[in-house]
């Protein structure tokens, strides 16, 4: 038998409909920050969605997202044992990656800050809370899941009730960079200003096209619908123009985390060996490439687990 480390590498696009400063964390529409919920969309709920079902996307994917050949969903891309690609763990490749649980009163995991009550909005010192990682591929039966407790002595204690930042410091973002090359390559955006300049032009064209469609509409209901679409496009253009660099700078920004996972672990299915569930697993990941207009970003990470090859 050979003992070592199995690296499960994942990446992909995620969505997060979050309010931004100076809006409070529980703002559902977006009043004073650079993000907002349009009239036809779900409320802002702050949830980090590593997967998105078609019905949810139909309500919340803004043009041109569905035409950008982008698949929203973080998945496992490769598996390495001791730094070398390992075919024995091929059953996990293609698995979907999930963050489970709720950050009460919000309905899912969030970038916890509560307007700098925890960490700092200015330096992206967020805690991803709760951290319940699940990697699962239905057709092969492979599943790995693990939870990390902010305070292992009191697992149910809410983050905002922890007065000493040393307790949760290991879960704060460990690094942040702007103009990041890895992010630019991951999302294929190398000209941030050009990217959003094209977006404003695109929205301007939608306004012109929708005006033309409205002029030909026969029923008042259809005309009202077109008018509402025009206002939504105008609102998006206003946000891009008003907030400028605050939006533009995020598209090549990367924020990274790295920490042990100290809670319960479960493993199912064939990975070509035995995963040790008696010691903490290690996870390293980043979120970046944030498009504050589409509320879309990119995630990349690695779950490292102690692993023994079984002949």
Q: Which of 293, 294, 287, 302 is nearest to 252 (CA)?
A: 287
pLDDT in tens, 237-273: 999 999 999 999 999 999 999 999 999 999 999 999 9
pTM value is 0.96
Instruction: Please give the torsion angle defined by the CA atoms of residues 75, 81, 84 and 88, in that order, rounded to the nearest 10 degrees.
Output: -70
136-164 tens-digit pLDDT: 999 999 999 999 999 988 888 888 888 88
Count the residues in the chain.
Answer: 311
Question: What integer pLDDT is reported at residue 144 of this predicted model?
Answer: 98
Dihedral of CA 239/245/250/256: which sign?
A: negative
Using a 10 angstrom Cβ sphere, with 0-12 exposed, 13-18 middle and 19 or more buried, the burial of residue 126 is: buried
CA-based max dimension of the chain = 75
Q: Strand runs (DSSP E) across 89-235, as ranges?
A: 96-100, 110-112, 127-129, 131-137, 142-148, 175-177
Rounded Cα distance between 291 and 283, Å, is 25
Q: What is the pLDDT of residues 188-202, one digit of tens each?
A: 999 999 999 999 999
Q: Is the pLDDT of residue 182 over 90?
A: yes
Nearest-10 crossing angle of helices 192-216, 220-243: 160
Compute the distance between CA of residue 96 and CA of residue 11 in angstroms, rounded to an integer.
10
DSSP state for residue 298 in the 8-state scheme: E
Beta bridge partners of 307: 4, 275
Burial 65-89 (b: 16+ CB within 10 A, else e): beeeebebbbbbebbbbeeeebeeb
């Amino acid at each position: 038998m050979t003992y070592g480390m199995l690296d499960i590498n994942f990446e992909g696009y995620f969505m997060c409909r979050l309010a931004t400063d100076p809006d409070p964390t529980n703002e559902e529409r977006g009043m004073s920050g650079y993000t907002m919920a349009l009239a036809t969309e779900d409320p802002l709920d702050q949830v980090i969605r590593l997967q998105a079902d078609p019905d949810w996307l139909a309500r919340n994917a803004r043009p041109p997202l569905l035409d950008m050949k982008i698949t929203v969903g973080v998945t496992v891309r490769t598996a390495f044992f001791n730094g070398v690609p390992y075919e024995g763990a091929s059953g996990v490749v293609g698995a979907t990656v999930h963050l489970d649980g709720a950050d009460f009163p919000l309905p899912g995991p969030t970038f916890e800050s509560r307007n700098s009550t925890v960490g700092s909005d200015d330096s992206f010192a967020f805690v991803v809370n709760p951290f319940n990682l699940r990697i699962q591929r239905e057709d092969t039966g492979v599943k790995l899941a693990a939870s990390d407790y902010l305070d292992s002595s009191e697992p149910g204690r809410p983050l905002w009730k922890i007065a000493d930042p040393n307790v949760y410091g290991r879960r704060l973002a460990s690094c942040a960079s702007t103009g990041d090359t890895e992010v630019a390559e991951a999302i294929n955006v190398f000209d941030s200003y050009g990217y959003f300049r094209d977006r404003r032009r695109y929205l301007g064209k939608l306004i012109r096209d929708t005006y033309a469609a409205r002029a030909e509409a026969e029923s008042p209901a259809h005309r009202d619908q077109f008018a509402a679409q025009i206002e939504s496009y105008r609102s998006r253009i206003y946000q891009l123009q008003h907030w400028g660099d605050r939006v533009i700078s995020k598209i090549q920004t990367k924020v990274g985390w790295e920490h042990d996972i100290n809670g319960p672990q479960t493993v199912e299915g064939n990975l070509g060996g035995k995963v040790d569930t008696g010691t903490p697993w290690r996870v390293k990941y980043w979120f970046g490439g944030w498009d504050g207009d589409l509320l879309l970003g990119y995630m990349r990470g690695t779950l490292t687990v102690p692993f023994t090859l079984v002949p």
